[in-house]
Amino acid sequence: MLKPRETIAGLRPYHSPIVSRAGLSLDLNESMAGCSPRVLARLRSLSADELSLYPEREVGERLVASFLHLGPEQVLLTNGMDEALSLLFNAYLGPGDELLFADPTFVMYPMLGAAQGAQVVRVQSCEDLTLPVADLLARISPRTRLIAIANPNNPTGLAASRVNLLKIVEAAPDVAVLVDEAYFEFCGAALTCRTMILDLARHPNLFVGRTFSKAYGLAGLRLGVLAGAAEQIDYLRRLSLPFNVNSVALACLEEALADRSFVSEHIAQVKRERKRLERLCNELGLRFWPSQTNFVLVRVGAQAKTFVEAMQQRGILVRDASANPGCNGCVRITVGTPRQMDGVLQAIREAVAETS
């Protein structure tokens, strides 16, 4: 019987089967405000010719490169950030190599590392779940080939400073260092939210990931960005499939980038509603981590699973984060629109009362 490598056969699927996803989806960190009206208008204007021809990814890469103040040779468009991660891990990891990251973080990192046959080296975050810079530096070894850092982090919502990230990048010049900025647009304080894209020119081992799934509301179109030194991006381009980004996503990209007022207002709205959620947590005596993303990690205690079920009974899906190291008793709640959050906050009050 044909079987895959053991490392593949032992992996669990990223998405577990769910009987029903009916309700308000606040468990996947999607945009609850949808996408720009300009994007919708462009979708409706698509012609038969645009759909019948193979997509030209390079046109989109020039647009994104200009937006990020980079050269087109420094940018690779991918089918969502997931494909960008897959390409990067495939290029720099193999059996016997080490993947290094701090827990808790994005669950795809260990999955992709294990799929390449690499040794997954986990460093536990600090007690307050901030990035354990000193411990990460201490675990870099001659076998370390890739370091993955989500900034801001998922599921904590916390952001590390550029100074600390540069310490890691500079300590491992022969190691690929990924700074995954999927939630960068939602950052608040300038100190913690300086993009690492500004440092690409000086650090050829640095890669920065971005996505249009969050702030731009295009999760369904699957459009990600991987930026890095031109030579390194050229290696990854050789691994990528020639028509990996579909023509619909590419057609909408220009409008998504151009409608800055929509994105700015959405980000401002998320920050306002995030504050409302955090104020409620304070009122209810629930521990939470000050977020720089479009979600908040909240510790509801030993009844986390029951709390998630109570929210689902009220038509709201939230993520049980208890399985993440250091997140026992925690749930992750995506921030919705003002109208949605009116109902969400009331549901949280009721669920807490019901499960306490």
Q: What is the pLDDT of residues 59-98, one digit of tens each?
A: 999 999 999 999 999 999 999 999 999 999 999 999 999 9
Residue 63 DSSP SS3: helix
Torsions phi, psi for 178 (to 5 deg) = -95, 125
Mean pLDDT of 1-13: 68
pLDDT in the model for residue 194: 85
**Torsion angle (degrees, nearest 10) of CA 226, 128, 142, 81:** -20
Q: What is the pLDDT of residues 233-262, one digit of tens each?
A: 999 999 999 999 999 999 999 999 999 999
Q: Which of 107, 94, 179 has the alpha carbon at shortest distance from 143?
A: 94
Q: What is the mean pLDDT of the chain?
A: 94
Mean pLDDT of 49-54: 94
Question: Residue 190 — very low, low, confident or very high, per pLDDT cuts 50/70/90?
Answer: very low
Whether 22 shows a pLDDT value over 90: the answer reads no
Domains in the chain: ranges and CATH: 18-34+261-355 (3.90.1150.10), 37-258 (3.40.640.10)
Diameter of the chain measured on Cα atoms: 58
pLDDT in the model for residue 1: 73
Whether 290 shows a pLDDT value over 70: the answer reads yes
Which tokens hold the place of 143? 């076998």
- Give the total residue count for the chain: 356
Whether 16 shows a pLDDT value over 60: the answer reads no
**Residue 227 contacts residue 74 (beta carbons within 8 Å):** yes
Secondary structure (H, E, C), 226-237? EEECHHHHHHHH
Q: What is the pLDDT of residues 148-165, one digit of tens each?
A: 999 999 999 999 999 999
In the chain, helix, strand, coil percent, each to 5? 45, 15, 40
Percent of the chain with pLDDT over 70: 93
Which tokens hold the place of 178? 């990924």
Give the strand order in the sheet containing 119-124: 75-78, 224-228, 206-211, 176-180, 144-150, 98-103, 119-124
